[in-house]
């Protein structure tokens, strides 16, 4: 039972499918008259969940602010 190893890459395929759904997201910033000022592509990055979990355990209320907020998935 444990002698045979099988991996059909289902997790990898799921991550690729999720990434392809959100790959081409762009944010357009406009001024008060509705004119387009800037268009930014939102980067898609795969990161470890431990970093997010450690931040939550250190500051459960998430009262600590960050210096700069950028669009990111």
Q: Stretch 9-13: mean pLDDT, rounded?
A: 85
Total number of domains in the chain: 1
For 17-46, how does the pLDDT look when each residue is reduced to its tens digit (9 = 90+)? 888 888 888 989 999 999 999 998 888 777
On whether residue 40 sits in a domain, the answer given is yes
Q: Which long-range contacts (CB under 8 A, 24 or more apart) does 24-30 make?
A: 25/73, 27/71
CA–CA separation, 58 and 64 (whole Å): 10
On whether residue 41 sits in a domain, the answer given is yes
On whether residue 17 sits in a domain, the answer given is yes
On whether residue 30 sits in a domain, the answer given is yes
Please give the residue range of the domain that contains residue 52: 10-58
On whether residue 3 sits in a domain, the answer given is no
Percent of the chain with pLDDT over 70: 66
For 42-71, how does the pLDDT look when each residue is reduced to its tens digit (9 = 90+)? 887 776 667 667 766 776 666 666 665 666
On whether residue 37 sits in a domain, the answer given is yes
On whether residue 50 sits in a domain, the answer given is yes
| DSSP-assigned beta bridge partners for residue 30 | 36
On whether residue 22 sits in a domain, the answer given is yes
């Amino acid at each position: 039972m444990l002698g045979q190893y099988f991996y059909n890459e289902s997790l990898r395929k799921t991550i690729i499918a999720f990434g392809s759904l959100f790959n081409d997201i762009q944010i357009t910033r406009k001024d008060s008259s509705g004119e387009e000022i800037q268009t930014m592509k939102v980067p898609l990055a795969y990161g470890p969940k431990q970093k997010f979990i450690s931040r939550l355990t250190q500051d459960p209320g998430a009262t600590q602010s960050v210096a700069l907020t950028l669009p990111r998935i």
